[in-house]
Structure 1
Amino acid sequence: MKVYGYARVSTQEQAEEFDALNQQIARLETAGATQVLIDIESGRSDARKQFNRLLKLVEQNQVREIIITRVDRLGRSVMTIHKAMEIFVKHQVNLRVLDAPVDPNSPFGWFSINQMSGLAEFESRLLSQRVKQGNEYFRQQLKFCVPPFGYSKDENQRLTPNRDIHRKSGKTYFELAGEIVDLVLEMRSLKDVCDYIYTEYDVVFSVSGLRDWLNNLALQGHTAYFMKPKPGVNREPIINFHTHPALITPTTLEAIHRKLSANRKYRSSNNSSRGRYPLAGLIKCAHCRGSMYRNISRHRTRTEYMRCVNYSKPGQYSCENSKCVRLREIIAQTIAELCKNAPKLIEHLENQLQQQSLVTQVQNSKQLEKLSHELSVLQGLGSANPDIIHAIAKIESTINQLSTPLPVIDRDGLENAKRKIAIASQPTFWQSLDDEELQCFLAEFVEAVEVDSQGAIAVVWKLYYFGF
């Protein structure tokens, strides 16, 4: 069992500019952490990947001690910290807080940690309230965060046309933005516009970015907030009309919408099968780690190819992987890798079972030694006190229970996983599946399939599923 450290900062800015994350990591390693898990996310979130991984490791009895710099690194919610503490105590994991040494197993330590977690949540709620009030004042003043291309901010942080000169074109940024709008109406597609303005002016736009820019209300002279809905947040958009000079007139806007609608109608289909194919969303580029999209040839064979989404992006965003790889070849190689590696995966599962049983026996032996010592002390008293006799009987019962090692993992689940791998290692099994079934089964085993510029693939298995 290892000694883990856990470090967390809320933003990337804290990690990079203020070096807060590196400071935490250095302190944790100095304190004896053999591995440090890191999250860059708000402590109010329960979806922190490494934090949840730490809890899972604790539940699998792979952790002896956890080291943190402060209690609020575990979270900014009383409930989150309380649940984590319950898991630590249940699995006899020692928690070491460098800035406030307490023993969570003692009543005083438990009280102290709950006080500190309450203070952490209080600070978080107070900060959230101040930010909310500041944002409300910001919107009342019609201020803008990040101006769209063609605009800048004046001394009052409001939008105004950007009159700075663009070096390559010799035009102001506002004039250049107007020219881009004209190009959208003149040229065949948004991709053609993106390629043209990058070649002529070194202005970088992706197709989706250009589409979002055209639909930005700021280009119509309006200052708007909350235009993009967020999951779980129900808030009406706020639109302040005619707050600054417009780049796009209503007539031009209508023409742009007609053009975008015509392009969408040309490219789309009522029977779209996007995402309805084996390994959908799992195929990644080995060079840029970006996704790969499916393209279907117009030939009567309708061959499906996978290609990196970044291959055609301009400038620094471009990926060197321009290889088109047949989807069926990727699927076939993935299945072949699964069949080839099935014995190794099953061996890992068996080793995992043995290791967990050994961990259980070691833990039970420590408890048995402690209880046996307590039992000998009580029996040595030779007392007729009913309470002492009852305590002796209870300890004896506990010793009997611990004498038989109890499984700490889901053996049935791992045995079921072994059976699935054994079945999946048979090529005839895969030949009997249709595309929908293939998609379902492959997603159960595969985390990602990386494809390089030579068409070679590397399969990343769902290691957590296999238990190692």
Structure 2
Amino acid sequence: MRVGYARVSSRHQADSEALDQQIARLERAGATKILYDIESGRNDGRKNFNAIINLAKTGVATEIIVTRLDRLGRNTISIHRTIETFQKLKVKLTILDSPLGDTNSAFGWLTINNIAGLAEFESRLLSERVSHGTAYYRSNLKYFGFALFGYTKDENSKLIPHPENWAIAKELISQFYTNSFGSISRWLAVTHNIKMYPSSLRNWLHNPALRGHTFYKLKSGDVERHYNTHEAIITEADYQDLAKITAHTNKKDPAKFKPHILAGIFKCGTCNAAMTKTKAGKMFQCSQYTKFGKAGCSNGKVIAKSIVKAEVIKVLVDYAEEVLSEGRKRTQEPAIENEVLVTLKHQLQTLESLPSNHAIDLAIIDLKQQIKNHEKHSEVRDFTVEEDFLMLKSFSHADFWESISDTTFKVVCLRFLKVVTFNGARDISVFLNDNSLAYNSLP
């Protein structure tokens, strides 16, 4: 069988008829079966490339036809290995643009080397151009790819508010507090005629660009972070709340079901399973006992939502009074600068005192960027601490707890509590977050 193989590197090339042209030429050359890949030639794991190798090894393919040698790959060693495989299997290789004749001859070997070397050279050259281009993008804080929903790009490829979608994006954020990703997706399609799958909404919410930051993932796997590079749709503190809330969002329609006031953090003290709602949401019971009875958990007791709420409020009020009291004692103390920031500034001073050369200049630029990023990160954290501090001030007012909804109560609990456990009877334990406000962080 005469088997044709075609390849393009990207979907854009496939859509621009480059792939169709290769296939048409292979058909005219007499190929009875044609396989193709849309993938880089530097990748030896291409599905259909390996398929033609298997067809040759099993004796199904007697001739392999390609339009150019670099369709087989962009790596000299890989191309030689493929050709050697075909030669050992006595499978004929036909290259339409470069008839090689006897590939075992010295002239054939030289020709293959030259063409394969040129293919790898072009690939390396393209990789360098892309690398220089991405480095330029990062140095100028440009945004890669399509603009995030709610944003558009200016003439410098930086994110700016979209004239129409910005308000919708703000409205979308408010939906996350009470709705599931599925119901929000339906709401967006019906209300604004915008289609976003639930998975796309989740990725959108967790994109740092939504919080005003520009992050770049490097080839090494590290992430280069730049803070406050553009206007944010959501604050860092609100994002932290929503990240916790949406991790435990009820998949059912929230309009028909009351929210769980301690979603994800209310556990059974016996088996550590989640405490689930029962009795129309007025009581809580161990989910394992609800499913399997005593075979699932020995703690079959129920506890009223009102009792749980009262105990949690008591702990939060006591915590607020303790933190506020300690905070007042420390208002006159000088702020201690972050140790990491001090170290970076010391390193910068040392480098600036040395004689200038190219390597030192690059290191100075890198350190200045690290200091800038660290200062921006500290500003975000300070703002969050200040916001939490103001929230704690309201805890001692009885009308605060009476006025807030169950959804708001859940947000407050997820922000300050790590876990709440029920051990039976009225035995409830409430544990604060490890990263709750530290006294020395208060204003």
TM over 0.5: yes
1:257 pairs with one of 215, 229, 243: 243
Q: What letter matches 1:40 in structure 2?
A: I
Cα distance in structure 2, aligned partners of 1:86 and 1:258? 57
Pairing partner for 1:213 from 174, 190, 204: 204
- 1:193 paired to 2:184: yes
| One-letter identity of the residue aligned with 2:130 | V
Q: Match of 1:129?
A: 128
The match for 1:226 among 212, 217, 220 is 217
Residue 180 (1) aligns with residue 179 (2): no
1:370-423 CA distance string (max 9 Å, x none): xxxxxxxxxxxxxxxxxxxxxxxxxxxxxxxxxxxxxxxxxxxxxxxxxxxxxx
Output the CA distance in 1 between the equivalents of 2:187 and 2:27. Answer: 52
CA distance in structure 2 between the partners assigned to 1:271 and 1:127 by the alignment: 55
The whole-number CA distance in structure 2 between the counterparts of 1:69 and 1:262 is 54
| Deviations, residues 171-215 of structure 1 (Å, cap 9, x unaligned) | x3101100010111133x222222222221112222221111111
Larger deviation, residues 120-129 vs 195-204: 195-204
Matches within 5 A, 1:285-364: none
Aligned to 1:51: 49
Alignment of 1:8 with 2:11, yes or no, is no
Residue 255 (structure 1) shift: 2.2
SS in 1 for 2:62: strand
User: Shift of residue 257 of structure 1?
Assistant: 2.1
1:271-290 equivalences in 2 (<5 Å): none
Q: In 1, Cα distance between the equivalents of 2:79 and 2:192? A: 53
CA contact (8 A) 2:176 2:246 kept: no
Give the corresponding residue for 1:94.
92
Selected match of 1:202 from 193, 196, 200: 193
Q: Secondary structure at the match of 1:119?
A: helix
Match among 24, 29, 32 for residue 31 of structure 1: 29
**Cα distance between partner residues in 2 of 1:153 and 1:59:** 52
Q: Give per-residue Cα distances to partners, 1:103-125, cap 9 Å, x unaligned.
A: 21323212211221111111101
Whole-angstrom distance in 2 between the partners of 1:33 and 1:104: 21
Residue 80 of structure 1, CA deviation? 1.1
Structure 1 vs Structure 2: percent identity of aligned residues? 43
Cα offset for 1:266?
A: 5.4
1:155 and 2:178 aligned: no
For residue 160 of structure 1, report the CA deviation from its aligned partner.
Answer: 0.3
CA distance in 1, matches of 2:61, 2:200: 45
Q: Secondary structure at the match of 2:147?
A: coil
In structure 1, what residue type is equivalent to 2:127?
S
Equivalent positions of 1:239-258 (< 5 A) are 239-258=225-244
Distance, in Å, in 2 between the alignment partners of 1:218 and 1:14 is: 29
Instruction: Give 1:135 deviation, angstroms.
Output: 0.9
Q: Contact conserved, 1:46 with 1:80, CA < 8 A, in 2? A: yes
Match of 2:110 in 1: 111
| Residue of structure 1 aligned with 2:70, choices 62, 69, 72 | 72
Given the two structures, how large is their TM-score scaled by the length of structure 2? 0.55
Unaligned runs of 5+ in 1: 164-171, 228-232, 273-297, 301-468
For 1:133 and 1:179, the matched residues in 2 are separated by: 39
Q: What amino acid does structure 2 have at the position aligned with 1:183?
A: Q
Asked whether the equivalents of residues 214 and 225 of structure 2 are also in contact (C-alpha less than 8 Å), the reply is yes
CA shift, 1:36, in A, is 1.4
Q: Deviations over 1:209-251 (max 9, x none)?
A: 1111111111111111118xxxxx5331112111111110133
Map 1:389-400 → 2, pairs under 5 A:
none
Alignment gaps of 5+ in structure 2: 251-262, 274-289, 293-443
Q: Deviations over 1:116-155 (max 9, x none)?
A: 1111111101110111001110111111121111000011
Q: Does the 8 Å contact 1:95/1:104 carry over to 2?
A: no
TM-score (norm 1): 0.52
**Count of aligned positions:** 259
| Residue equivalent to 2:366 | none
Q: How many Å separate the matches in 1 of 2:21 and 2:199? A: 39
Aligned to 1:61: 59
